[in-house]
Amino acid sequence: MVVFGGLITQLLHLALILAGAPLLTGVVRWLKARLMGRRGAHPLQPWRDILKLLRKRPILADGASIVSRAAPYLAFGATLLAAALIPSFAQGMLLAGIADLLLIAGLLALARVALALNGHDAGTPFGGMGAAREMTFAVFAEPALLVCVMVFAVLAGSSNLDTIGAVFREGALGLRVSLLFAALALVAVALAENARVPVDNPATHLELTMVHEAMLLEASGRHLAVWEMQAALKLTLWFALLAAIFLPFGTASAGSGPLLWSLGLLFWLVKMGLLALMLAMFESAIAKMRVFRVPDFLGGALLLALLAAALIFVSTGLA
Amino acid sequence: MLTLLGACLLALLGLSALGVTGRAPRVVFLGCAAAAAGFGLAAAIALTGDGMAATALPVGPPWAPSLVALDPLSAWFLLILAVVAVPALLFAAASPAPPPAEGAAFPLFLAGMAAVLVAADGFTLLLGFELMSLASWALIAARHPTGVGRRTARLYLAFAAFSGLCLIAGFALLAPAGLGFAAIRAAPPEGWRAAMVLILVLLGAGSKAGLAPFHIWLPLAHPAAATPVSALMSGAMVKVALYVMIRLLLDLPGPAQPAWWGLPLIGLGAATALIGALRANLERDIKAILACSTLENMGLIVVGLGLALVFRGSDLRPLASLALAAVLLHALNHAGFKTLLFLCAGAVASLAGSRDPDRLGGLIHRMPWVAGCAMLGAFSAAALPPLSGFASEWLLLQSLIQGWRVAEMSIQLIAAGTLAVVGMAVGLAAAAMVRLLGLVFLGRPRTPRAAGAPDAVGMMRVALLLPAALSLLLAVLAAPMLSLTGGAIRQLLGANALAPVAGFDLVLGDAGARYAPWAVALLLALAVGLTWLAVRRRSSLAPTREPAWDGGFMPPPPHLPFGDPLSQVSAMGLGQPIRRSLGRVALAIRERHYPAMPGDPATATLRVDTEDRGFTQMLYPLARLRRRLSRRAEALRGRTLRINLSLAFGTLVFLLALVAWLERG
Amino acid sequence: MGIGELPYDVAHVLGGAMLLVSFVLLYQRRVASLVNALALQGALLAMAAVWQGYVQGAPQLYVTGLIALVAKGVLIPIFLRRMMRKLAPGHHTEPASNIGLSMIGGALLVALAILVVLPVTTGAKALAREDLAVALSIILLGLLMMLMRRSALAQIAGLMTMENGLVLAAIGVAGMPLVIELSTAGLVLVAAVIAGLFARVMHERFDSLDTDMLDPHRGEGR
Amino acid sequence: MSLAAALVLLPLLAAVLLALLPDRASRLNIVASGATLLLAILLVLTEPGGDGLLRADALNMPLVLIAAIVGFGTAIFSEQDVAYEMFDRRRARFYHAGFQGFMAAHFLALLSDNLGVMWVAIEAGTLACVLMVALHRTPAAIEAAWKFFILCGVGIALALFGIIVLALAAQPLLGHGEQLSFLALRAVAARADPGLLNLAFIFLLVGFGTKAGLVPLHSWLPDAHAEGPTPIAAVLSGLLLNGAMLGILRGKAIVGTNPAVISPGSFLIVLGFITLLLAAFSLWRRRDAKRLFGWSSIEHMGIVAVAFGIGGVPGHMAGLLHLWGHSLVKSAAFFAIGRAARMKGGQGIESIAGLTTTHPALGWGLALAMAALAGLPPFSLFASEVLLAMETGRERPWLLPLLILGLLVAGTALLHAMQRLCFGLPTPEPIPARSGLATLLPLWVNLLLAAILALAMPEPLARMLLEAARLLA
């Protein structure tokens, strides 16, 4: 039953995030527009864009190589696998055994590298520039993520996401200031990873300021569709990650039948909506920062993570 | 076993004699490859079956015979040596004939490294170590009669002498009873003696392995040699130094050493990793980039070694074996992908005619094989799952994360800080690899030579495919390979220590984390494949080719066949964000900007001079001190005869007075 | 035997005389009288040797005395004088530093010699102790003279004085094999000849015997 | 007549012959040296011992062998080298006679059991060398020779005084005639008056130390090496220094047996380290190749002094092994550099470069010799330095840093010079010529022997080494 349940939940989870990812992007955009006093596009607009792009004939730049054709699938595959490892409505899914945070980080790095290589491929200035910046940001984002993982490992005894979620759901450790710091650090990392304000502006196409979009300038047709899907999936993934760690309540366990699952799903949708709202409010509240201030921003995140670790050590040392 | 090893070593000596004549270089290199394969065979036998106990040789110093042995640790590193040497030598055989000196020194280089690995007493180890240094120096010097290369060779030789002497001193303090390893184990050093041993070994083997601040020679020396030599130096020689470190710090001093022994290693390792990865993003020579990435990986490995010492010192054997496994596995993985990368770089340098990224570009179109191998190697070096680099770095990061299990809060904090630095280094390494691939293989060719480069064929292609296949194998079969190190881990950490392996997965015993490379590879392939199928089912239109959109730039004029060179990011340009944000950590940077004056047709230029802080803060001051002292010493020479006489006279009188005084008291 | 007994007093007087001559050598400016003083010291040495031979009843010391007389007292002085005539007619040796200083230095050296020798030779016969102390003083004075004087001739003279001191010490020790004495004396002669050779070459190269003139010619420059 | 006596008389005879009939002198020289070498080998194979005056023991037999080898090589080398000197008949005759005479004196100095005879022999050898150093008659040569003469004359005189004091100390204990015998002195020194022994050792140290080139008594050494003919430099470094060191060693062996003396080892250690460090730093300033090797001789004598000072069986083993290896390698280096200087028409370092490209055999030989002098394997200097480091680490660990510093500075300086001489772009050759077997043979043979000493020392030699160390410790 457990294995079967694990399989079912895993498949349902995949279907859910695949279907929900563009929707989540749409919702965020819609909320942002509302907060800015605009009517905003329909939340399903991203889905429509993707389907339309899929119908178009892809155009490759002259200098482009096989990389431009392969990179989108690689990046998407890696992101999908990472997303599949992060529990949404149920824990103990089929892949829970290997749902290691370091592996998730690695898969995201793989997707990032594929994206950067895609930026390099056509040999255009903006592509290269965007790639260099993307990798630079990662240099600061990754250590922050790792130290957060250490914090969770200290509390949950393992770096396995499923275990962490389970331990945190039991709530045995109560509300800790160190967790708050870790949460802030992780949020900052998530913003950078998803190229959101203040690190990058997903809406703009002004070349000088952008990072993420610059690497996709040459993509078109189905390739662009896959890239868009990948971006949406990544956003969902990070939301799910934050939810799974910091808002673990209400998640069902794989063994417990459909009723609890749907309850967990309900909880999850609420969490997602909440996070989307927070993101929208945040993005509409503040402005994008200059590219060379981003390292400071992420360095701050790293410091927060280290502080969290230090506090954990103190508290465990006292306890 | 002894006959096999002896035959290989003797064969190498004979080949070097043949190499002196300069005749039949291919024979020499292929023979060396065979000998290296022999080493690999011996290592495999020793790892699977039982090794060779300490055996006395007919040769040796006047006071005792030389001893050789092949225990699991030696065997593991011998395997690494073979893994690097065979492809490198095939590549050498495929390259144009080198100067005779190189043909003579190459076998000696191999023999020296092998001698260090199989030595069972200090003298033999030192002998092999010095032979290795001397031969590798000859390999560099033979290529560079003049210019910068010559200064590099000089610097390298000076550092080699330094590390050799430090190791001699280390043994002197380690082995009061005798140089045989058994005798040393019987009487391990204690107190300040042990601490001095630690320092001297860190100076000696550390400077060979490129630990900061003695790393400065490495990014100069490794690229200066011929490609196969660079591969051997970067893939194997630093590992030999690592082996010496493990032998002298983990094995010989016995398990009784305190936990703080690991801390210097952790600190130095983290600093080295950061500096190396940072410089890898700023170098402007593809082989130098790879050498800097070697620094980064050695740094990570040494961090693991330090962790192993810390855990062992605080009685956390499972964690110690975890860290040690990370060290051993990463040593092997790094050997695989670094060899691959260096050989690719060599192929590029010889076929596309340059090592300067700003003269390359777009090579993936002309040399798909090399590009493919290079991408594989680069992905491994960037520690991307499911490739080989990720498996070992996963172990390393896990053991760092587990650092909180040590009761000392200071060590916990150090572990957290190190984790941050290591994470930064890993990110930087990924950035460096992307930069390398993007500059060399992607984008547009920057010179006609790059546009017309042929692909690697024949034995050169084989030499590339060999390590590539090996890296893939290591990626999927990380766990079985690691289980081979069980013997070494038991030897170093006690009989009940186990490699963190369960079947085909890497697992942490109590912490419950698990990494299954095969599963990840499978799932990834599945995800990519299904996505591709699904997408292609919905949209089947074949793509068309158009000029790049390029943010709206106009297509280049006809006299620029590869587009406007200025509109493609340069090596410095790609390094700029990292140089701006982190560069000054490792380098003394001078940026000068010459703006374009209004009406002046000249373009604006930005001139950047970088120099490693190791030079500016350590080497130059030392050299100044040495110069001042020699001037002092020289002043004594410029004296007249009578002054010299009075010196002798004064010595006599002083000694007489001293004796008179001593006899009073 | 001790103070007030004839053998001791005579040896004492002779040794003291030699030491005095050493001071004269240290003090003397003119080369001619330098050579004379050297001859005198040689003669005194010969007498000391003979006396010791008589006292110790060691016949080979008479031979030693004879050699000393012939070599140090006659041959070498003649040789030096001839060389002096040839090379530096009426040539004055000027001390590098003033006489008084070297005198004080000499006195201090004698004190040192006595301080060093007397306490360690409590076992030996008084005669030997006396001889050893005097001999050491003479050697040290010869060395001092060599580094005070710039002229090659003066330095040779200093070397010869040192040899005198050595022989004085040797005769103090009973039972020095004769072969050593002979070969030593022979070597001293050879050395003197060689030194003369050098002096001549030096003179024809630099037209001077001032050893400080040599200094700028050192190879490899400063 | 014993082998030892023959070993002394044969070169003497050869010297007389060479003085009488100078034509084809160099061939005769080679033959004589070869015969001497055979005698030396025979001597080493026979049992130690001998009559009163000459006694062959484990301490001096290997040194005799080394001396014969180096002498033979030097004779072969000078056969080619002297041809360039343009000596007139008189000087050529004198040169060869003087060479053999020096060899005879050196063998006597090594073999004689009587300290007085040893002194006489060393003095005679010195005088011969002085004359041969002056052979060129250039101002620099005169200056060097005069300095050599005066300093070593003084030093040797002081050494004699030391010997006399030893005799005086032994007077109450020994009968007439044997109070200068090394063995007898060693036997009774324990009962002699320690004060006199101290005094004696001071004088022996300063006296023979001047000849061994210990700082601050060293200033004659580099110039004497540089200004004389190259073969003379080879024997100076290869043999004379050994003789002087043997003198110090004998003194230490005698004095050291008395427990009440101020330990002679500490004097040696201090002087040795001063020597090592000063020479190491001076090596960096050399512009003249032969002076470079002269200074390196000083450095190695410092190492030897330290080794003997630290003492113990391993320490003395290290010191002796270092002496042997240094003689072989240093003479080899002088052969190579002398030949190179001939071909390049100057012995300045800047005038020699790129030897390995133009004359591979000579260039690599020189490179290996310099690497060996820098203490790199596979040569016996490496082995002895390792052994010395071990003993230092065991007995006086706090001296290790000094030792390492000295070795490092000196080694890097030599390697630096090695790369300037042997690599880089070749300098022009006014006298283009081939290296010639007369240089390459002794050069490579010596290197080979040094390597054998390090890695596969013949069993009898190894036994003698151990025996000698036991004798001294």
Q: What b-and-e string marks burial along D427-466, b requiring 16 or more CB atoms within 10 Å of the CB?
A: beeeeeeebbebbbebbbbbbebbbbbbbebeeebbebbb
Contact status, residue B229 vs residue B106, Cβ threshold 8 Å: yes
Question: What CA–CA distance (Å, rounded) separates B192 from B172?
Answer: 14
pTM: predicted TM-score of the whole model, two decimal places: 0.94
User: Is C180 within 8 Å of D120 when comparing Cβ atoms?
Assistant: yes
For D92, the token pair is 């050529």
pLDDT digits (tens, 9 = 90+) for D290-334: 999 999 999 999 999 999 999 889 999 999 999 999 999 999 999
C3 by Cβ neighbours in 10 Å (0-12 / 13-18 / 19+) ranks as exposed
Closest CA to D456 of B69, B180, B68, B64: B64
Please, which chains are in contact with D (at least 3 CB pairs closer than 8 A)? B, C
Question: What CA–CA distance (Å, rounded) separates B427 from B433?
Answer: 10
User: Is C147 within 8 Å of B642 when comparing Cβ atoms?
Assistant: yes
Note the pLDDT of residue A205: 66
* Secondary structure (DSSP) of D38-84: HHHHHHHHSPSB--SSB-B-TTTHHHHHHHHHHHHHHHHHHHHHHHH
Assigned domain for D347 exists: yes
pLDDT digits (tens, 9 = 90+) for B34-64: 999 999 999 999 999 888 889 999 888 988 8
Average pLDDT over residues D70-98: 88
Average pLDDT over residues D421-442: 87
User: Which residues in chain D have Cβ-Cβ distances shorter than 8 Å to B134?
Assistant: 371, 376-377
Note the pLDDT of residue B665: 64
Note the pLDDT of residue C81: 85
Closest CA to B277 of A194, A143, A193, A124: A143
Q: Please, which pLDDT band fits residue B336 given cuts at 50, 70 and 90?
A: very high
Question: What CA–CA distance (Å, rounded) separates D40 from D33?
Answer: 10
Find the DSSP H helices in D258-399: 264-283, 289-310, 312-344, 355-358, 360-373, 380-395
**Which candidate in D127, D164, D171 is best for mutational testing of the C interface (most C CBs within 10 A)?**
D164
Q: Is C198 on the interface with B (CB under 8 A)?
A: no
Residue A179, pLDDT above cutoff 80: yes
How wide is the angle at C-alpha B455 spanned by C-alphas B454 and B460, nearest 5°? 125
Please, which chains are in contact with C (at least 3 CB pairs closer than 8 A)? B, D
Average pLDDT over residues D41-49: 83
Q: Is B627 on the interface with D (CB under 8 A)?
A: yes
Residue C126, pLDDT above cutoff 70: no
pLDDT digits (tens, 9 = 90+) for D264-295: 999 999 999 999 999 999 999 999 999 999 99
Residue C49, pLDDT above cutoff 50: yes
The shortest C-alpha distance from B114 to chain D (Å) reads 16
Report the residue from C187, C218, C220 with minimal CB separation from D120: C187
Note the pLDDT of residue C32: 79
Residues 97-136 of A with CB under 8 A from B: 97-98, 100, 102-103, 106-107, 109-110, 112-113, 116-117, 119-126, 128-129, 131-133, 135-136
Mean pLDDT for chain A?
Answer: 90
Q: Is C212 on the interface with D (CB under 8 A)?
A: no
> Which helix H or strand E contains A290, and what residues bound it?
none
Report the residue from B153, B154, B656 with minimal CB separation from D202: B656
pLDDT digits (tens, 9 = 90+) for A271-301: 999 999 999 999 988 888 888 888 999 999 9
DSSP state of B609: E
Higher pLDDT, A185 or B212: A185
Most confident of B6-15, C94-103, C175-184: B6-15
Closest CA to B161 of B108, B98, B204: B204
The shortest C-alpha distance from D277 to chain C (Å) reads 20
Residue B295, pLDDT above cutoff 90: yes
Residue B638, pLDDT above cutoff 60: yes
Q: Please, which pLDDT band fits residue B8 given cuts at 50, 70 and 90?
A: very high
Question: What CA–CA distance (Å, rounded) separates B80 from B77?
Answer: 5
Report the residue from C112, C120, C146 with minimal CB separation from B663: C120
Number of residues written out for chain B? 665
pLDDT digits (tens, 9 = 90+) for B450-477: 888 999 999 999 999 999 999 999 999 9
Mean pLDDT for chain B?
Answer: 92
User: Is B427 within 8 Å of A142 when comparing Cβ atoms?
Assistant: yes
Q: Which residues contact D243 (CB under 8 A, 6 or more apart)?
A: D106, D109, D110, D121, D122, D125, D211
Average pLDDT over residues B124-130: 96
Lowest mean per-residue pLDDT among B612-616, C162-166, C207-211, D345-349? C207-211
Q: Is B363 on the interface with D (CB under 8 A)?
A: no
Note the pLDDT of residue C1: 46
pLDDT digits (tens, 9 = 90+) for C68-78: 888 888 888 88
What domain count does chain D have? Answer: 1
Mean pLDDT for chain D?
Answer: 90
Domain range enclosing D464: 263-473
Domain ranges (residues) in chain B: 321-532, 614-664
Find the DSSP H helices in B144-179: 147-174
DSSP state of B545: E
Residues 117-176 of C with CB under 8 A from B: 119-120, 140, 143-144, 146-148, 150
Assigned domain for D302 exists: yes
Note the pLDDT of residue D41: 92
Residue A43, pLDDT above cutoff 90: yes
Report the residue from B427, B535, B548 with minimal CB separation from A122: B548
Assigned domain for D271 exists: yes
Assigned domain for D18 exists: no
Average pLDDT over residues D178-205: 89
Note the pLDDT of residue B510: 67
User: Which residues in chain C have Cβ-Cβ distances shorter than 8 Å to D139?
Assistant: 205-206, 214, 217
Most confident of A51-60, B251-260, D24-33: A51-60
pLDDT digits (tens, 9 = 90+) for B553-594: 777 777 877 777 777 888 988 998 999 889 888 888 888 888
Question: What CA–CA distance (Å, rounded) separates A171 from A154?
Answer: 15
- 3-state SS, residue C91: coil
The shortest C-alpha distance from B643 to chain C (Å) reads 7
For B489, the token pair is 């881990």
Domain ranges (residues) in chain A: 2-318
The shortest C-alpha distance from B656 to chain D (Å) reads 7
pLDDT digits (tens, 9 = 90+) for A54-79: 999 999 998 899 999 999 999 999 99
User: Is D281 within 8 Å of B62 when comparing Cβ atoms?
Assistant: no
Q: Chain B residue closest to D315 (CA)? A: B63
Q: Cβ–Cβ contacts within 10 Å for residue C101, how many?
A: 12
